[in-house]
A and B are shown apart, each in its own frame.
Chain A
Amino acid sequence: MNQPASGPSVVTRRSVSRRQFLKASGVALGLPFLDAMMPALARAETTAAVPRRMLAVCNNLGLLPEKFFPAADSTGRGYQLSPYLELMKAHRDDFTVFSGVWHPDVDGGHPADNCFLTAAPHPGSGGFRNTISLDQYAAEHIGHLTRFPSLTLGVNMRRGQCSLSWTGGGVLIPAEEKPSEVFRRLFLQGSKVEVAAQVRKLKLGESIMDALADQTHSLEKNLGARDKERLDQYFTGVRDLEKRLASAREWEGKPKPKTSAKAPEDPANPREYMEKARLMYDMARLAFETDSTRLVTLMLDSVNSPAIEVEGSDINDGYHSLSHHGKNPEKLKQLEAIDSGHMKLLNTLFTDLKGTAEGGANLLDRTMILYGSNLGNANTHVTTNLPILFAGGGFKHGQHLAFDSKRNYPLPNLFVSMLQRMGIEADKFSTSTGTMRGLDMA
């Protein structure tokens, strides 16, 4: 644990620029002070004074490794940017690039995309069940601090087949594919009937907890010290959950942040993949700016995408088929154009987040962005040597952390580092063996 957890926690007042422009879509938003949106309860409970956020993106066809990774002998802080990373050179010190990492025993080719944030081994084998994803694990601890515990987004998804977010029971959380719907949830009030139904439901949860607490008290009467301690722990669990339900209910009564803009229009054609991705990045940024959630996942289901539109290039083959390029130069050229498009989108996102001030820092410093893939090389379907880019969020970046390409280093260790950065007491996630070696908090 790196977050000081002792003593009264202090939530500093943060100033938010009142009006942020959605450059790309030309939308202007009026934003309330974030502090005003934090319920009193959350303020009292939060152990980390600074809000920490996370956006995790999986492009399930990955990136051309030879263009993405810096040279194997070009490591550490003085490393030489690779061709793809050159496209983000303005942010060189805002990200870390990893090589030689994998999710241990997550094999099976394409099905591994569902394990990108869960690291559950053997997605292709018999008896497979997925496990909780990083964002949902975090949401169980910090989700109550915001209106939405988390947002699960997707582009060109195989519905019901894939997602980055999975519950503790290994159940798929469907991804929202329409930017307009995300926008609606973030900024438009629900109907009175909807709100009332939700409030009723949460209140019922609170009443359940109340009944349980009541019974716990009556059981406690005849117990010895140690047994009482155990039952007290149960009681605390009940009360904590009750508080979280109450805080969720409080959100329902609060007005959503205001916007003076129209909702984005949803691109209708799967070919408009890049535009969809760009809008989703925008939605994630808006969600963070308004502190509507701190946890966003975005699956770019490239496997399920046709020949996509990329500005300035002529793509004439399906994305999936291009990824099996077989070293065909024409295919490689098109893939490179697509990959570069991805890098440019990320670059814009980094710039936008960095340009958004919050409490004396900027949003990028408080938002961890994990971008990567479940495939190390789509051409051969290998799930080792994953391309992983990790930006922002309050780490010391500007380095190439290179691990053994033959015996890969466990990527779940990064997840543990991320959880700890969010102020969550976790020392293990899935197959982790510790925290990310070589990655220090800023």
Chain B
Amino acid sequence: MLQKPILSLNQVPGLWGGCAVLMRAVLPCVILPCVILAMAAVCQAETKGQPEAAFLKSHCYECHDSNTQEGRLDLTKVTFNLNDPLMFATWVKVHDRVKAGEMPPESPRPSVREQSEFLRALSDRLATADAERIQDSGRSTWRRMNRYEYENTLRDVLGAPWLQVRDILPEDGESHRFNKIGDALDVSHVQMARYLAAADYALREVAMTSAAPPSKTQRYYARDQRSFTGPLRFSQFNRSPERSTFPLLGNTADVAVLNDESHPLSVGDKNPEVREQEAVGVVASAYEPLEVHFSSFRAPVAGEYKLRLNVYTFWAAPLSEKQWWRPDREKTSAGRTHEPVSLYAQHPPRLLRKLGTVDASPEPSVVEITAWLAKGETVRPDPARLFRSRPPSFHNPLATKKGQPGVAYKWLEVEGPLPSKSLAEGRKLLFGDLPVKIAPGNQIDVKVPDAKATSRQLITKFIRRVYRRPVDAADTKRFVALVHEAIDAGIPFGEAMIAGYSAILCSPAFVTLEEHPGRLDDFALASRLSYFLWNSEPDETLLKLAQNGELKNPTVLRRQTERLLADPKSQRFVAAFLDYWLDLRKADDTSPDAGLYPDYYLDDYLVESAVDETRAFFTELIKENLPVRNLVASDFAMLNARLAQHYEIPNVQGSEIRRVKLPKDSVRGGLLTQASVLKVTANGTTTSPVLRGVWINERILGVLIPPPPPTVSAVEPDTRGATTIREQLEKHRNDASCNKCHVIIDPSGFALENFDVLGGFRERYRAVDSAKKPKKIVGYGHNGQPFEFSNGRVVDSAGSLPDGRKFRDIRELKLLLAKDERQLAKNLASQMIVYATGAPIRFNDREELEFMLDSIQSSSFGVQTVIQEVVLSRMFQNK
């Protein structure tokens, strides 16, 4: 399928310069229709008498006038009104194409002098116009926080990492691929109402932790949980052992409990030794109606808790020789596998939040994680590798004639709420040392002798803490007045304060990032740095440096960059940047087709691990300051057992992601062959070399691809397997005008055809044809359903790059791409500039970008070095 990449006009023009062939395609397709529309009324007179006029007349108008409009461009109608962004963008492209020597195309070629004079005149003109605009309004546009930033900032301000704010706010607009651009971050009454709801929610959540009980440690036995013991018995809704639970005493089936309904489910406290052996097992992962959770524990209050789970694996024997794939609940033995168990916080009805993954082994052991829970949340363990019993008539894919694996739980021990310094500070920020009570309806009840005086103190303190720059006295006055008005209207003090704080957290001085044209003041710089590397507010250290005027000192700035990157909060940068740069946020957008990919279907753990891998990989590049070429070719990967199995790499056990050296001939290493990337560039059913090719060009190489002409229809993938996508594309590529772009787009996509919709390596395509169901069932999916696909045509992964260099497969392609380190670094730096400054590389930024690259070439463009250079750049330090 051909899909149109979204392109806006003034998109990173600097990245286009090096790509001669591409430019040919870009101009006609993208710019011109808009230009012509915008310009209908203007005439050639504009350029007359200008230094460029002679060149345009003798070398351009022959094709690009109102009669011919070659490539739909009529240069006689393009004016030098460079305040118009469309006009500006058009001239930038004219400049770039002449400079690259692509235009004018053939004879008569202009003389070298003619050409350089034209270019100088034009680029001076563009530079002057751009400089004026930057001076006037800065590179970027005033913006509000996006929802990632707002959530992080509220969490940090209030010391409450469990707050779920992001989903309360509407999705943010995007421009230049990121959610950091002022022009796309709109505000409406809906946005305002949601800000208000989000702030109110966050404040109440924190205030309510005042009612926290003292920390305690309590054990919750699986045998005491209804969701564990209910499925012990068959009911009219379930007669499958797979969807039942297994009463166990150690590894042995607890037959008494299983077969005698009157038998007590547990010996209880009277026999601690036996009780310690009592467990409940499952052979399937969570799927309605088998969703075990420790419901007798509910977090009494939001806070940090230690969760200790006593868990192990066991083995269930086959039910009978004939029905070997069914487990026998009466015949169990010691576990033979290691199983990852994901832990979720569960809020009724079924809202789930992943807390982490622990490992279960045949030996019962206590695994511990520390997690923040919201009030009322309980804990659901999910043995992620076990199958999901999707109807109808499921069949456990892990079953063999010798039996099948299971996971058994003894108990969950919860310790908490643990004392938290940050939360205590957040609470103190709201009501100081005043006693806070929670009245019915979550009303905040605080008794004070002098409400007005106290509110003045509290509001003053709060504003000082949350605004990221010195506070204007008028602001304090404004919000104090608001609270006083509320108190006068009869609203209780606690509620009036919540209203005042909500107002502050929705106020423009809080939700927008204040920057003024020219060099950023120290406070704006502190915010820019922290919203870049933490995606949140600057901390005290940064603000103090700003206060003292020290932050703009390059040595200080460099050190602070290192400090921010070394802080765990930098994971927010990694996640948010990758979410947009690589589209990782779309990892769950499509599901693997149940017919073609039953082995992946409903395998949440694989997708989660894949996203974790890419984040860990990028983190590793930063941490070790590895050369940028690792983005396309690295000799290591960040893996856990699930990914290693997926990638067919031996000897990786356990759920923890760690650095693994790759075998010499491995196809893995680098971003291109990571499951996450291969998933977001596919649609769940089929892969497309075009989509993946565009993706690599735009995300990794920094080459922008124009959208296809509107008249071209998308290729309909054929899942019955008669033709390959490559064969279908061949027709397309034989058309010279199509091939202009496809010669650039497709090759890297061809090499990736060896990877299916979830990044599994394949030598053949899969096909599903209902008329030709495989006669013999060769396997069952993660959903317990039989494989109905068959092996189709062989993948052809060879190709040649636009410059003619040939490759046979992905291994060779990666080596070719990795050679152009400077281009990779240029792209990475450009993406970060957009993310960090809210504006793309502009015409006047190009020189600085090249200069920056020159200065770090010798370091092989270490990824952390690139980040440092971005921070130290003029682009970063000016609005």
CB <8 Å contact, A114 and B349: yes
- CB-based nearest A residue for B478: A211
CB <8 Å contact, B604 and A241: no
B509 within 8 A of A: yes
CB <8 Å contact, B506 and A226: no
With both chains docked as a complex, state the minimum distance between the C-beta of A209 and any C-beta of chain B, in angstroms: 8
CB <8 Å contact, B167 and A126: no
Q: How far is the CA of A154 from the CA of B443 in the complex (A)?
A: 27
With both chains docked as a complex, state the minimum distance between the C-beta of B500 and any C-beta of chain A, in angstroms: 8
Chain B: interface secondary structure? mixed
- CB-based nearest B residue for A227: B142
* B138-154 Cβ-contact flags toward A at 8 Å (1 or 0): 10011110000000000
The residues of A that contact B608 with a CB separation of less than 8 Å are 126-127
B534 within 8 A of A: no
Asked whether A207 and B391 contact (CB < 8 A) given A127-B354, A227-B141, the answer is: no
B197 within 8 A of A: yes
Q: How far is the CA of A121 from the CA of B591 in the complex (A)?
A: 9
Task: Tell me which of A162, A211, A224, A237 contacts B136 (CB under 8 A).
Answer: A224
The residues of B that contact A240 with a CB separation of less than 8 Å are 188-189, 192
CB <8 Å contact, B351 and A170: yes
- CB-based nearest A residue for B185: A230
* A234-260 Cβ-contact flags toward B at 8 Å (1 or 0): 101110110010000000000000000
Asked whether A226 and B137 contact (CB < 8 A) given A233-B186, A380-B391, the answer is: yes
Q: How far is the CA of A227 from the CA of B503 in the complex (A)?
A: 22
Q: Which stretch (B94-102, B512-520, B625-633, B664-672) binds chain A? A: B512-520
Q: How far is the CA of A214 from the CA of B475 in the complex (A)?
A: 9
Interface size class of A (residues with CB under 8 A): 35 or more
Asked whether A170 and B167 contact (CB < 8 A) given A111-B350, A233-B187, A237-B191, the answer is: yes
A267 within 8 A of B: no
B79 within 8 A of A: no
B581 within 8 A of A: no
Task: Tell me which of A211, A226, A320 contacts B482 (CB under 8 A).
Answer: A211
With both chains docked as a complex, state the minimum distance between the C-beta of B481 and any C-beta of chain A, in angstroms: 8
A381 within 8 A of B: yes
B449 within 8 A of A: no
With both chains docked as a complex, state the minimum distance between the C-beta of B384 and any C-beta of chain A, in angstroms: 8
The residues of B that contact A223 with a CB separation of less than 8 Å are 142, 516
The residues of A that contact B503 with a CB separation of less than 8 Å are 208, 211-212
Q: How far is the CA of A227 from the CA of B196 in the complex (A)?
A: 23
Q: How far is the CA of A400 from the CA of B567 in the complex (A)?
A: 60
B440 within 8 A of A: no
Q: How far is the CA of A136 from the CA of B571 in the complex (A)?
A: 34
A266 within 8 A of B: no
Q: Which stretch (A35-43, A65-73, A198-206) binds chain B? A: A198-206
CB <8 Å contact, B507 and A169: no
Interface size class of B (residues with CB under 8 A): 35 or more
With both chains docked as a complex, state the minimum distance between the C-beta of B278 and any C-beta of chain A, in angstroms: 27
The residues of B that contact A219 with a CB separation of less than 8 Å are 508-509, 512, 514
Q: How far is the CA of A207 from the CA of B503 in the complex (A)?
A: 9
With both chains docked as a complex, state the minimum distance between the C-beta of B295 and any C-beta of chain A, in angstroms: 13
B851 within 8 A of A: no
- CB-based nearest B residue for A224: B137
| Chain A CB within 10 A, most for which of B196, B237, B342 | B196
CB <8 Å contact, A110 and B479: no
Asked whether A234 and B167 contact (CB < 8 A) given A114-B350, A160-B348, the answer is: no
With both chains docked as a complex, state the minimum distance between the C-beta of B492 and any C-beta of chain A, in angstroms: 10
CB <8 Å contact, B142 and A127: no
Asked whether A208 and B196 contact (CB < 8 A) given A128-B352, A230-B141, the answer is: yes
Task: Tell me which of B182, B491, B507, B517 contacts A230 (CB under 8 A).
Answer: B182
| Chain B CB within 10 A, most for which of A126, A129, A160, A227 | A126
* B386-405 Cβ-contact flags toward A at 8 Å (1 or 0): 00001110000000000000
Task: Tell me which of A161, A231, A324 contacts B236 (CB under 8 A).
Answer: A324
Task: Tell me which of B194, B201, B349 contacts A162 (CB under 8 A).
Answer: B349
Q: How far is the CA of A162 from the CA of B348 in the complex (A)?
A: 9
Asked whether A324 and B237 contact (CB < 8 A) given A126-B342, A172-B349, the answer is: yes
CB <8 Å contact, A200 and B490: yes
Q: How far is the CA of A211 from the CA of B141 in the complex (A)?
A: 24
Q: How far is the CA of A280 from the CA of B332 in the complex (A)?
A: 52
B433 within 8 A of A: no
- CB-based nearest A residue for B594: A107
B170 within 8 A of A: yes
- CB-based nearest B residue for A123: B350
- CB-based nearest B residue for A124: B288
A442 within 8 A of B: no
CB <8 Å contact, B137 and A207: no
| Residues 157-185 of B contacting A (Cβ, < 8 Å) | 164, 167-170, 182-183
CB <8 Å contact, B288 and A215: no
* A100-138 Cβ-contact flags toward B at 8 Å (1 or 0): 000001011111001000000111111111110000000
CB <8 Å contact, A237 and B187: yes
CB <8 Å contact, B189 and A244: yes
CB <8 Å contact, B287 and A227: no
CB <8 Å contact, A169 and B167: yes
Q: How far is the CA of A231 from the CA of B182 in the complex (A)?
A: 10
The residues of B that contact A225 with a CB separation of less than 8 Å are 137
Q: How far is the CA of A131 from the CA of B166 in the complex (A)?
A: 12
Task: Tell me which of B287, B351, B509, B770 contacts A130 (CB under 8 A).
Answer: B351
The residues of B that contact A124 with a CB separation of less than 8 Å are 286-288, 350
B613 within 8 A of A: no
A321 within 8 A of B: yes
Q: How far is the CA of A291 from the CA of B168 in the complex (A)?
A: 29
* B485-519 Cβ-contact flags toward A at 8 Å (1 or 0): 11001110000100100110011110010101100
Task: Tell me which of B143, B287, B353 contacts A127 (CB under 8 A).
Answer: B353
Q: How far is the CA of A10 from the CA of B746 in the complex (A)?
A: 55
The residues of A that contact B354 with a CB separation of less than 8 Å are 126-127
CB <8 Å contact, A127 and B168: no
The residues of A that contact B517 with a CB separation of less than 8 Å are 224
CB <8 Å contact, A205 and B142: no
CB <8 Å contact, B351 and A208: no
Q: How far is the CA of A236 from the CA of B186 in the complex (A)?
A: 11
A222 within 8 A of B: yes
The residues of B that contact A215 with a CB separation of less than 8 Å are 475, 478, 507-509
The residues of B that contact A123 with a CB separation of less than 8 Å are 350
B190 within 8 A of A: yes
The residues of A that contact B847 with a CB separation of less than 8 Å are none
CB <8 Å contact, B507 and A211: yes
CB <8 Å contact, A237 and B192: yes
CB <8 Å contact, A237 and B188: yes
Asked whether A204 and B499 contact (CB < 8 A) given A126-B342, A224-B137, the answer is: yes
A140 within 8 A of B: yes
Task: Tell me which of B137, B382, B588 contacts A121 (CB under 8 A).
Answer: B588
With both chains docked as a complex, state the minimum distance between the C-beta of A280 and any C-beta of chain B, in angstroms: 21
A191 within 8 A of B: no
| Residues 173-230 of B contacting A (Cβ, < 8 Å) | 182-183, 186-194, 196-198, 201
A328 within 8 A of B: no
B344 within 8 A of A: yes
B474 within 8 A of A: yes
B86 within 8 A of A: no
Task: Tell me which of B141, B188, B191, B478 contacts A214 (CB under 8 A).
Answer: B478
Given contacts A203-B489, A214-B478, 6 further A-B contacts (CB under 8 A): A121-B588, A121-B591, A169-B201, A170-B167, A231-B508, A244-B189
A-B complex: 6 closest residue pairs judged by Cβ atoms: A240-B189, A169-B168, A224-B137, A227-B142, A161-B349, A241-B189
A: which residues have CB within 8 A of B? 105, 107-111, 114, 121-131, 140-141, 158, 160-162, 167-170, 172, 200-201, 203-205, 207-209, 211-212, 214-216, 218-219, 222-227, 230-231, 233-234, 236-238, 240-241, 244, 320-321, 324, 380-381, 406
18 pairs, A vs B, C-beta closer than 8 Å = A105-B590, A110-B288, A122-B591, A126-B604, A161-B349, A169-B164, A200-B489, A207-B482, A208-B506, A211-B503, A212-B503, A218-B474, A219-B508, A224-B517, A231-B508, A234-B508, A236-B188, A244-B189
